[in-house]
Amino acid sequence: MEIQEAIDWIHSRRPQGQRPGLTRIEILLEKLANPHRKLKVIHVAGTNGKGSVVANLRVLLEAQGLKVGTFTSPFITVFNERISINQQPIPDEDLIALVEKFKPLIVELDNEKATAGMIEFEVITAMMFDYFVEQQVDIAIVEVGLGGTLDCTNVVAPLISVITTVGLDHQDILGQTISEIAAQKAGIIKPRKPAVVGRLSEDTLAVVKQKAETEGCQLSVLAEDFNIQDVRSLGLQGERFTFENRKQCLTEVPVPLIGQHQVDNTAVALETFIQVSELLKLEVSTEQIRTALETVSWSGRMEQLTSDPLMIIDGAHNEPAINVLVENCRDLLKGKKTHVIFAALKTKEASGMLSELATIPNSQLYITSFDYPTALKVSDYTAMNLTVEFESWDDWQKQLSSLLKEIPQDDCILITGSLYFISQVRAFILGGR
């Protein structure tokens, strides 16, 4: 079997619709001797910020000499990166071996009513648990796929749970109100296990606190139990801030990722790391923390691809993330003409995202589509009766190449709307077009 054949088989399990629930994954894991029960897990949920928190946690734990598995989605460069150990994607031969092991098992389960039609995310989640046990990782950082309560990663009994942010997204599955969505995210909070929570609205925090109280969980909340002070922007070089919790104060904490929201993500990761260090009895120095955090990178999040002209890609794909992106652009791109290129999936509220992007000062909006099964077509936007002015692009590769040649060097290009879209842009630009 070749690697593309293996990946194609995994993708063939893609559902026509979402199928939340734990029954199928539990039956599959039972047949694998329950590998998820043999792992130390940090479980991370949230509307936005999950990937950045994972990236920060990963370098902090690796700096302690630990073998760290990470499970994230979607991928930006190669499919294999979804399952990584110490920042190295699973090798092709190991992924092929997993597919060869799982394929007959999934076919067998397709013949049983309770497990028929196992979907891609369930399969890759089970593969991840199995692989991390085989590779004897010291700790696994597992990102929730969707929501929390009924997400198939929620079979774990974690060392600690993390909720980064809560916003409106996937309402068709998670609920129409912010409180309903918060309840889904809070579903990863487990009895008598600690949890760390990022910056939430009063309403969403109340939901999370109620769940924590019900489960007898010790909750640490940003701006209550740990705090951010003295934030200093370094522009496109990131941020610096002071972190303080009830036990310690760390000054000049580096945040290489761009945007003030990344300060929140770093603080959430740092509080989580400190608690995990206590649970695992790790000896950690302030200098180790600073040195580790200097190395954080996370592709596709305010990532600079070119400098002349400046081209930034950002995977913001819902209104809360776009709001943060626009705020960052106002701060970082002052005085620059900004060419905003947008493409999104059919499942997203594109109209609201575009309305917000149109508020970027001195900007020109371009709308396009890309090669993905559920990508919005350019004609779909016309049918939305948008109130913003935009130019349509039928061939983004060709028209982006032309734009790069035509615009002044001090202009900026911002590409956003979908992680799937910006991953294709990233490959196109870095691959030499």
Query: How confident is the model over 349-361, as a mean pLDDT?
Result: 94
Instruction: Judge if 326 and 415 occupy the same domain.
Output: yes
Give the bridge partners for 244, in sequence order: 227, 249
Residue 392 maps to which CATH number? 3.90.190.20
Domain enclosing residue 327, as ranges: 303-430
pLDDT at 19: 63
**pLDDT at 293 > cutoff 80:** yes
Whether residue 269 is contained in a domain is answered as: yes
What domain count does the chain have?
A: 2
Query: How confident is the model over 130-143, as a mean pLDDT?
Result: 99
Domain final residue pick, 293, 311, 328? 293
Query: How confident is the model over 33-61, as a mean pLDDT?
Result: 96
For the chain, percent of residues with pLDDT exceeding 90:
79
**Which pLDDT band, with edges at 50, 70 and 90, does 94 fall under?**
very high
pLDDT at 18: 53
pLDDT at 175: 57
Instruction: Judge if 283 and 423 occupy the same domain.
Output: no
In tens, the pLDDT along 377-398 reads 999 998 888 889 999 999 999 9
Instruction: Judge if 71 and 180 occupy the same domain.
Output: yes
**Which pLDDT band, with edges at 50, 70 and 90, does 15 fall under?**
low
Residue with tokens 């928190």: 53
Query: How confident is the model over 309-325, as a mean pLDDT?
Result: 92
**pLDDT at 114 > cutoff 90:** no
Q: Mean pLDDT for the chain?
A: 93
Query: How confident is the model over 39-57, as a mean pLDDT?
Result: 95
- Joined together, the tokens standing for residue 218 give 């010790």
Domain final residue pick, 293, 316, 333? 293
Instruction: Judge if 35 and 109 occupy the same domain.
Output: yes
Instruction: Judge if 285 and 312 occupy the same domain.
Output: no
pLDDT at 358: 95
Mean pLDDT check: name the lowest of 147-151, 171-175, 205-209, 369-373.
171-175
**Which pLDDT band, with edges at 50, 70 and 90, does 129 fall under?**
very high
Nearest C-alpha neighbor of 324 from the set 294, 301, 346: 301
- Most distant CA pair in the chain: distance in Å? 62
Residue with tokens 């923390």: 289
Whether residue 131 is contained in a domain is answered as: yes
Query: How confident is the model over 17-40, as a mean pLDDT?
Result: 90
Instruction: Judge if 128 and 252 occupy the same domain.
Output: yes
**pLDDT at 171 > cutoff 70:** no
- Joined together, the tokens standing for residue 37 give 């029960």
Determine the Cα angle at 182 with ends 176 and 187, to 5°. 120
Instruction: Judge if 321 and 283 occupy the same domain.
Output: no
Instruction: Judge if 361 and 288 occupy the same domain.
Output: no
pLDDT at 133: 99
**Whole-number Å distance between alpha carbons of 377 and 385:** 14
Whether residue 156 is contained in a domain is answered as: yes
**pLDDT at 339 > cutoff 70:** yes
Instruction: Judge if 286 and 317 occupy the same domain.
Output: no
- Joined together, the tokens standing for residue 29 give 């894991």
Whether residue 407 is contained in a domain is answered as: yes
**Which pLDDT band, with edges at 50, 70 and 90, does 432 fall under?**
low
pLDDT at 392: 95
Mean pLDDT check: name the lowest of 113-117, 121-125, 221-225.
113-117
Domain final residue pick, 293, 328, 356? 293
Query: How confident is the model over 331-353, as a mean pLDDT?
Result: 92
Instruction: Judge if 316 and 237 occupy the same domain.
Output: no
Instruction: Judge if 153 and 215 occupy the same domain.
Output: yes
Instruction: Judge if 254 and 315 occupy the same domain.
Output: no
**Which pLDDT band, with edges at 50, 70 and 90, does 331 fall under?**
confident
Residue 100 maps to which CATH number? 3.40.1190.10
Q: Are 1 and 92 in contact (CB under 8 A)?
A: no
For the chain, percent of residues with pLDDT exceeding 70:
96
pLDDT at 32: 97
Mean pLDDT check: name the lowest of 57-61, 157-161, 167-171, 196-200.
167-171
Nearest C-alpha neighbor of 181 from the set 216, 151, 221: 151
Whether residue 298 is contained in a domain is answered as: no
**pLDDT at 2 > cutoff 70:** yes
pLDDT at 14: 76
Whether residue 351 is contained in a domain is answered as: yes
Query: How confident is the model over 203-207, as a mean pLDDT?
Result: 93
Cα dist. 183→59, 205, 208, 268 in Å? 30, 10, 7, 20
pLDDT at 148: 84
- Write the secondary structure of the chain as one string of H (helix), E (strand) and C (coil): CCHHHHHHHHHHCCCCCCCCCCHHHHHHHHHCCCHHHHCCEEEEECCCCHHHHHHHHHHHHHCCCCCEEEECCCCCCCHHHHEEECCEECCHHHHHHHHHHHHHHHHHHHCCCCCCCCCHHHHHHHHHHHHHHHCCCCEEEEECCCCCCCCHHHHCCCCEEEECCCCCCCHHHHCCCHHHHHHHHHHHCCCCCCEEECCCCHHHHHHHHHHHHHHCCCEEEECCCEEEEEEEECHHHCEEEEEEECCCEEEEEEECCCCCHHHHHHHHHHHHHHHHHHHHCCCCCHHHHHHHHCCCCCCCCCEEEEECCEEEECCCCCHHHHHHHHHHHHHHCCCCCEEEEECCECCCCHHHHHHHHCCCCCEEEEECCCCCCCECCHHHHHHCCCCCCCEECCCHHHHHHHHHHHCCCCCEEEEECCHHHHHHHHHHHHCCC
